[in-house]
Structure 1
Amino acid sequence: MKIVKFGGTSLASGPQLEKVINIIKSDPERQVVVVSAPGKRFANDIKVTDLLITYANKVLAHEDLTEIQKLLTARYTEIAEYFDLPTDQVAPIVDHILNLPKQQYPSHEFLLAAFKAHGERLNAMLTAKIMTHMGIPARFLNPDEASITVEGSPNDATISEESYDKLNQIEVGNERIIVPGFFGYTNQHEIATFARGGSDITGAILARGLHADLYENFTDVDAIYSANPAVVDHAFPIDQMSYVELRELSYAGFSVFQNEAIIPAIQGQIPINVKNTNHPDRPGTMIVPKKDALYNRPITGVAGSSRFSALYLHRYLLNKETGFTLKLLQIFYKYGVSYEHMPSGIDDLTVIFDKSHLTETTISKMCAEIKEALHPDQMEWIDNYAIIMVVGEGMRGRVGTLDHILHSLAIKNIGVRMINQGASRISIMIGVNKELANPAIKQIYHEFFQTEPMSL
């Protein structure tokens, strides 16, 4: 059995959904289908999820809802009309949209989660109706029926472990099962959503829970590439990579998956195949356990992200001072701040943060307290910071890869602010100034991919 997930671009319109249905029909093993909310139909279009967020905010602000309800209704009726779905089949979906503000929610956060989740919920309902109308047996399965129970905050939920035992009890017969991605239900039967990219999480959860043979993730690209095609022209597609390689690269900006989205599939050791809805016959990229990975280059991919900031501290004999780091961590804890990395020397320490989790006020107060409590000889907050990840299972057994990388950057006069190589020896993290990130990625790619594959 295969679990198949389709992204928002694949489901944005009637013609796109027709491609999706043809893909499902072409393989009888594609029995469980996870759908996202309809995405953008064209460059300046608005995703249905974003329309629903606007809808929720208007409800909370007690604003007029007529126009936003029309926009949302039109997105689903337009798809239904493409397939000549009878009006009485579409009416329950329209009713769901209109009745959302009339429901009772425990908090504003749960209201927002419920509104967002309906992009996927209504699209799954619609897809099942359309397939049945076309003579393809299909059943809508809501996450509460599938026993997808979640915990945590309403808009950043996590799957509960007991869900997996219940998922295994789902009966999969001759009909296709259509499941909305992105959300589950709390023990109090309230809707809570995963992080953005949550439909990928639902697909991975079902793949593990149903012990699937393969998790197919259909998107709008032919494969995962060895570098961002927006940075490197004609970057090589990756035929196969390991789970760990994908996780490392996703951390630094690979946009196919949200960083934590595939963890359930990894836990279940389910192979993942990333494919293109518009070119379904192309092989895509296979993501497999490390033991099954094949490679002919030391590096599988290089990625970078400029979402980081850094705090640099200098104090003589820092390494001799007991409790310095403890005091620093206590200040982070006080302000609810987590850090990403903390490379250090005998007199220096750099703390790297994901700046998307920080505000200017938090940074100002936190730095003032650090200065007062720790009395550093020098302290600097660095905003223009980027991290580059160079990743490859092939590096594990090869000597000199780091030297090769640093030499290539030095030739282009690209200064390195931080280097960190994990114990696994399959990834090298490099910190550079933000404006140097793309030139560094291009240079590393050129050194390792513009030649024939290197022997190991």
Structure 2
Amino acid sequence: MVKVVKFGGSSLADATQYRKVLDILSQDQHRRVIVVSAPGKRFPSDTKVTDLLIKYENGDENEVSLARQLIIERYQAIAEAFKVSDQRFEPIREYLSDLVNLYYVNRKARLAHFKAAGEHLNAILMAEVLQAQGMSARFVDPSELGITVHGDYNNAILDQNSYSKIQDVSANLLSDTDYIVVPGFYAYNDAGEVCTFSRGGSDITGAILARGFQAEMYENFTDVDSIYSANPHVVKHPHSIREMTYREMRELSYAGFSVFHDEAIIPAIEAQIPIVVKNTNHPALPGTLIEPEQNFRSDREITGVVSSNHFAALYLHKYLLNREVGFTLKLLQILYRYGISYEHMPSGIDDLTIIFDKNQVSNAILPNLLEDIHRELQTDQLEWIDDYAILMIVGEGMRDKVGIVDRIVDALARDQIGIQMINQGASRISTMLGVHQNQADQAVRQIYKEFFESKVGVEQ
């Protein structure tokens, strides 16, 4: 059996981190498929290689020259630390220089190709470093694995036929070498153009390969000891989650848990492959195991609470809305014309609230969108709410407990935090709240206090 191991940007930021990765690989012979991100920050004020590549793509002449030099220096410092020869390093330098001379059909295609270069070059470098250490390793491009995508150049969607293609070549690849190193974050469309997944998409690549290689486990190495029940920047020393289910992780990631990409869990769910999130800096710690729901038992009512401010809401009021056949269809048709998808749509007999990701509704189109909705649906009241935050309270233990929502509402009421919207998922493992942005962090702290601080020392 094989394990797919993904290392994030902080795990590969410099030669010191590279050495930790080599140690981790040597500790388990099943860790043979390696997925790499672009080098991340070495210190708080540092710049990620991906951000340097964006400057390289769209800056002025001076910015482009400086960005290219800084990117080369990042990779070269790692190469020199592991005695990778200049001759072996030269393709990295050439690839980066050639980016500006390639033909791109449009600006989005160009940006995707530039962004993907961070992972591409780091995977080449990782294979060279492994070889320099006397290990059998090779760089494998996503095209060699048959991974194809469609959709937006910078927010690509996987072609499901990719899995069978990976399975067809996986045995031969693993028989030829000890390690294969695959760049995360990008793949190719049918035209052979580079497309990237959404930011943080190396997690997605790792999960795709875990399913395609039929791995026994997908290990995701990052810079935290585990996944926590709340954001450590909001709650001091939050509870460490030892085990959680796929759907708990997906709900929490979607709403703001940044440790793991919310889309990345889907391939693992489909193949029922367990995921472990671990710390590259403390690999002996158990981390967090993410597993199927079957036979999972939680000793807590909730697993985590998280908030996100990247939402906005449209409040719509119309008398007898519930009696009007096709009202929601007409609304969705308007959104479709503008290319907007919605996140949630809680409703009452005369009221409806539509929750959006803010990134989808720009200030340029908002006035026209509101005008069209008001005119075509004859609304009595229409209000755009930009001061909006979503809280997600998630836990498998919520299904079997009565009064969880009451405790959440009471905890917020005691701190004078008003609830703008409340919605419980059909699975009964999550409750969504809408609050004002300036109260979001305090709301998280109050809910955490209600469900965790009275049970210190109880582990999940």
Q: Smaller-chain TM-score range?
A: over 0.9
> How far is the alpha carbon of 1:81 from its aligned partner?
1.2
Q: CA RMSD in A?
A: 1.6
Q: How does 1:230-249 map to 2 (within 5 A)?
A: 230-249=233-252
> How far is the alpha carbon of 1:138 from its aligned partner?
1.0
Q: Describe the SS at the equivalent of 1:386.
A: strand
The answer on whether the counterparts of 2:55 and 2:64 sit within 8 Å (CA) in structure 1 is no
Partner of residue 286, structure 1: 289
Q: Describe the SS at the equivalent of 2:71.
A: helix
Partner of residue 155, structure 1: 154
Q: Describe the SS at the equivalent of 1:200.
A: helix
Q: Which runs of 5+ in 1 are unaligned?
A: none
Give the whole-Å Cα distance in 1 for the aligned partners of 2:188 and 2:22.
28
Partner of residue 363, structure 1: 366
Instruction: Map Cα deviations across residues 300-339 of structure 1 (whole Å, 9 max, x no partner).
Output: 1011111111111222222122232222222212212211
The answer on whether the counterparts of 1:197 and 1:261 sit within 8 Å (CA) in structure 2 is no
The answer on whether the counterparts of 2:154 and 2:195 sit within 8 Å (CA) in structure 1 is yes
Quick one: which amino acid aligns to residue 9 of structure 1? Answer: S
> How far is the alpha carbon of 1:63 from its aligned partner?
7.0
Q: How does 1:191-210 map to 2 (within 5 A)?
A: 191-210=194-213
Partner of residue 56, structure 2: 55
The answer on whether the counterparts of 1:240 and 1:294 sit within 8 Å (CA) in structure 2 is no
Q: Describe the SS at the equivalent of 1:351.
A: strand
Q: Describe the SS at the equivalent of 1:360.
A: coil
Partner of residue 127, structure 2: 128
The answer on whether the counterparts of 1:154 and 1:191 sit within 8 Å (CA) in structure 2 is yes
Partner of residue 275, structure 1: 278
Partner of residue 98, structure 2: 99
Answering whether residue 455 of structure 2 is matched by residue 432 of structure 1, we say no
Answering whether residue 69 of structure 2 is matched by residue 70 of structure 1, we say yes
Moved more, 330-339 or 201-210: 330-339
Q: Describe the SS at the equivalent of 1:135.
A: coil
Partner of residue 333, structure 2: 330
> How far is the alpha carbon of 1:292 from its aligned partner?
4.3
Q: Provide closer, same or farther for how the CA distance between residues 416 and 65 of structure 1 changes in structure 2, counting only shifts above 3 A.
A: closer
Quick one: which amino acid aligns to residue 356 of structure 1? Answer: N
> How far is the alpha carbon of 1:207 from its aligned partner?
0.1
Quick one: which amino acid aligns to residue 95 of structure 2? Answer: H
Partner of residue 267, structure 2: 264
One of 408, 411, 424 as aligned partner of 1:408: 411
Quick one: which amino acid aligns to residue 275 of structure 1? Answer: K
The answer on whether the counterparts of 1:388 and 1:431 sit within 8 Å (CA) in structure 2 is yes
Partner of residue 8, structure 1: 9
Q: Provide closer, same or farther for how the CA distance between residues 54 and 64 of structure 1 changes in structure 2, counting only shifts above 3 A.
A: closer
Partner of residue 139, structure 1: 138
Moved more, 284-293 or 217-226: 284-293
Give the whole-Å Cα distance in 2 for the aligned partners of 1:69 and 1:415.
50
Quick one: which amino acid aligns to residue 237 of structure 1? Answer: S
Give the whole-Å Cα distance in 1 for the aligned partners of 2:361 and 2:84.
47
Q: How does 1:156-235 map to 2 (within 5 A)?
A: 156-168=155-167, 169-170=169-170, 171=172, 172-173=174-175, 174-235=177-238
Quick one: which amino acid aligns to residue 344 of structure 1? Answer: S
One of 384, 403, 409 as aligned partner of 2:387: 384
Instruction: Map Cα deviations across residues 352-389 of structure 1 (whole Å, 9 max, x no partner).
Output: 11112111121111112222222322221111111100
Partner of residue 47, structure 2: 46
The answer on whether the counterparts of 2:56 and 2:65 sit within 8 Å (CA) in structure 1 is no
> How far is the alpha carbon of 1:64 from its aligned partner?
7.3
Identity %: 54
The answer on whether the counterparts of 2:55 and 2:63 sit within 8 Å (CA) in structure 1 is no
Moved more, 340-349 or 374-383: 374-383
> How far is the alpha carbon of 1:422 from its aligned partner?
1.1
Give the whole-Å Cα distance in 2 for the aligned partners of 1:79 and 1:346.
62
Q: Describe the SS at the equivalent of 2:447.
A: helix
Q: Which runs of 5+ in 2 are unaligned?
A: none
Give the whole-Å Cα distance in 2 for the aligned partners of 1:330 and 1:177.
47
Give the whole-Å Cα distance in 2 for the aligned partners of 1:118 and 1:377.
51
Q: Describe the SS at the equivalent of 1:136.
A: coil
* TM-score using structure 2 length: 0.95
Partner of residue 113, structure 1: 112
Give the whole-Å Cα distance in 2 for the aligned partners of 1:193 and 1:231.
31
Give the whole-Å Cα distance in 1 for the aligned partners of 2:273 and 2:453.
32
Give the whole-Å Cα distance in 1 for the aligned partners of 2:350 and 2:91.
66
Give the whole-Å Cα distance in 2 for the aligned partners of 1:314 and 1:153.
34
The answer on whether the counterparts of 2:313 and 2:353 sit within 8 Å (CA) in structure 1 is yes
4+ residue runs of structure 1 moved beyond 4 angstroms? 61-64
The answer on whether the counterparts of 2:119 and 2:183 sit within 8 Å (CA) in structure 1 is yes
Partner of residue 298, structure 1: 301
Q: Describe the SS at the equivalent of 2:387.
A: strand
Q: Describe the SS at the equivalent of 1:152.
A: strand
The answer on whether the counterparts of 2:56 and 2:63 sit within 8 Å (CA) in structure 1 is no
Quick one: which amino acid aligns to residue 155 of structure 1? Answer: N
Give the whole-Å Cα distance in 2 for the aligned partners of 1:310 and 1:181.
34
* TM-score using structure 1 length: 0.96
Instruction: Map Cα deviations across residues 8-40 of structure 1 (whole Å, 9 max, x no partner).
Output: 011010111111111111110101100000011
Q: Describe the SS at the equivalent of 1:451.
A: helix
Quick one: which amino acid aligns to residue 29 of structure 2? Answer: P
Answering whether residue 446 of structure 2 is matched by residue 443 of structure 1, we say yes
Give the whole-Å Cα distance in 2 for the aligned partners of 1:187 and 1:389.
38
The answer on whether the counterparts of 1:241 and 1:294 sit within 8 Å (CA) in structure 2 is no
Answering whether residue 346 of structure 2 is matched by residue 347 of structure 1, we say no
